């Protein structure tokens, strides 16, 4: 009998990432243009790395505040004042070892085994996996896809709510679809959560990547005292810090001790010298973020305009986030297509099968890269598509 049979059934049932499967298949190939994962092509800016190195050289290598160093929590408060026009006291902020850990801890805080949590699909697969590993049940509700755009059907969400439902996971702007909730959408979702006494776990990691101008609408614009909303976020995308694994939670201060305990019993906090880098990102990084957003907008236009011009790609330009979610005429198995595309074009895409219900016929391309590289990727993909 295999030793695996003696492991936790929940652990054994954890799915292999469909994104990582393709990455592992082709990682390191010469001439590869990797658009499969959600990161840009720039390393972390020097002003961030230098702050971390200075802290490391100064000996900031001891155990530290479980909720995050005071400087970083103040910097987060200032960041939200600048970009969201809300002044949240530092007691609302909790530093985590990545956005993924922010989700894991939030799931642990909000659910018990057997509880249900509703989320919108197609979706980044890690949210469903985090819920299932914790013993909760993930309930996917498909966004509508029509005329190349994604839309919300509130009736579908309400129909998925049962007496076991604990909350709604709302990612906007969305990975992978680029769907971006309007203020009206958010108001209707919040009203639904209030009606059914549900939590909202809001993933607004791409809020600044909003191509209509300014940041995307946020629950912070409409929430009131007592609303049960917890925000999960990460330093990865805005500041080219994917490998740092530093994130944060915004939550009611009453949850503070619970969240601190969950951090203590998982990672016991984020390294202080890494947090000093995160402080520099927040305090000095607005110009870098603006440049990243401008680059993403240019690359989005190059990629989407070229692909749509083939008359074989249905998807239109996304309103937000970093991804083109491509529905290509002739692709019936996106996993097989992703392997075929990387073999024949040297362009790495993520298969839509990795993103759950509604994503099976799609492929995801991250366009946070140099526009010249995106132009080359678009040319290769167009050549592949017209030959299908």
Point out the residues of the chain with pLDDT beneath 50: none
pLDDT of residue 1: 67
Spatial separation of the C-alpha atoms in residues 380 and 388, rounded to whole Å: 13
pLDDT of residue 2: 87
Cα→Cα distances 354→92, 145, 178, 230, 365, Å: 33, 17, 16, 26, 13
Spatial separation of the C-alpha atoms in residues 296 and 89, rounded to whole Å: 32
| Cβ pair 175, 206 in contact under 8 A | yes
Helix residue ranges, H only, the chain: 9-13, 18-26, 46-57, 70-84, 99-110, 125-133, 154-159, 183-196, 256-264, 272-284, 286-308, 334-345, 371-386
pLDDT of residue 109: 98
Lay out the sheet containing 199-203: strands in order across: 93-96, 247-250, 229-234, 199-203, 165-171, 116-121, 137-142
Q: What is the largest CA-CA distance in the chain?
A: 59
pLDDT of residue 142: 97
pLDDT of residue 388: 87
Spatial separation of the C-alpha atoms in residues 218 and 125, rounded to whole Å: 22
Report CA 334 to chain centroid distance, whole Å: 21
Spatial separation of the C-alpha atoms in residues 299 and 313, rounded to whole Å: 17
The HSE-up count of residue 218 (CA atoms within 13 Å, CB side) is 24
Q: What is the pTM of this model?
A: 0.95
Cα→Cα distances 42→30, 51, 62, 239, Å: 19, 18, 30, 9
Structure tokens at 186: 């958010």
Spatial separation of the C-alpha atoms in residues 365 and 347, rounded to whole Å: 9
Residues 6+ apart with CB under 8 A from 219: 170, 186, 190, 200, 202, 204, 227, 229, 231
Q: What is the pLDDT of residues 237-286, one digit of tens each?
A: 999 999 999 999 999 999 999 999 999 999 999 999 999 999 999 999 99
Structure tokens at 12: 């054994």
Q: What is the pLDDT of residues 31-60, one digit of tens each?
A: 999 999 999 999 999 999 999 999 999 999
């Amino acid at each position: 009998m295999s030793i695996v049979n003696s492991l936790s059934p929940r652990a054994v049932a954890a799915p292999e990432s469909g994104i990582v499967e393709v990455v592992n298949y082709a990682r390191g190939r010469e001439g590869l243009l990797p658009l499969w994962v959600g990161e840009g092509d720039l390393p972390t800016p020097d002003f961030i790395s230098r702050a971390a190195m200075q802290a490391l050289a100064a000996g900031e290598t001891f155990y530290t505040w479980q909720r995050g160093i005071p400087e970083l929590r103040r910097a987060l408060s200032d960041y939200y004042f600048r970009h969201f026009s809300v002044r949240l006291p530092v007691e609302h902020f909790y530093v985590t070892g990545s956005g993924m850990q922010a989700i894991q801890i939030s799931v642990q805080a909000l659910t018990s085994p057997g509880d249900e949590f509703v989320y919108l699909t197609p979706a980044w697969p890690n949210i469903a996996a985090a819920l299932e590993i914790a013993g909760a049940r993930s309930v996917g509700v498909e966004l509508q896809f029509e005329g190349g755009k994604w839309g919300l059907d509130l009736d579908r969400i309400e129909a998925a709510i049962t007496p076991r439902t604990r909350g709604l996971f709302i990612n906007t702007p969305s990975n992978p679809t680029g769907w971006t909730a309007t203020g009206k959408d958010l108001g209707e979702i919040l009203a639904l959560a209030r009606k059914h006494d549900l939590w909202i776990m809001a993933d607004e990691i791409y809020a600044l990547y909003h191509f209509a101008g300014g940041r995307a609408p946020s629950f912070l614009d409409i929430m009131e005292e007592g609303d049960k909303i917890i925000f999960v976020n990460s330093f990865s995308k805005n500041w080219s810090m994917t490998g740092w694994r530093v994130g944060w939670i915004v939550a009611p201060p009453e949850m503070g001790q619970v969240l601190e305990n969950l951090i203590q019993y998982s990672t016991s906090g984020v390294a202080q010298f890494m947090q000093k880098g995160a402080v520099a990102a927040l305090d000095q990084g607005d110009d870098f973020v603006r440049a990243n957003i401008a680059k993403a907008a240019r690359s989005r236009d190059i990629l989407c305009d070229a692909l749509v011009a083939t008359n074989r790609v249905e998807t239109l330009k996304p309103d937000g986030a970093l991804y083109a979610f491509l529905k290509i005429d002739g692709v019936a198995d996106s996993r097989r297509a992703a392997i075929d595309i990387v073999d024949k074009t040297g362009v790495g895409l993520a298969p839509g099968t990795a993103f759950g219900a509604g994503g099976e016929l799609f492929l995801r391309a991250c366009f946070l890269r140099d526009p010249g590289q995106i132009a080359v990727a678009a040319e290769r993909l167009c050549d592949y598509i017209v030959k299908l």
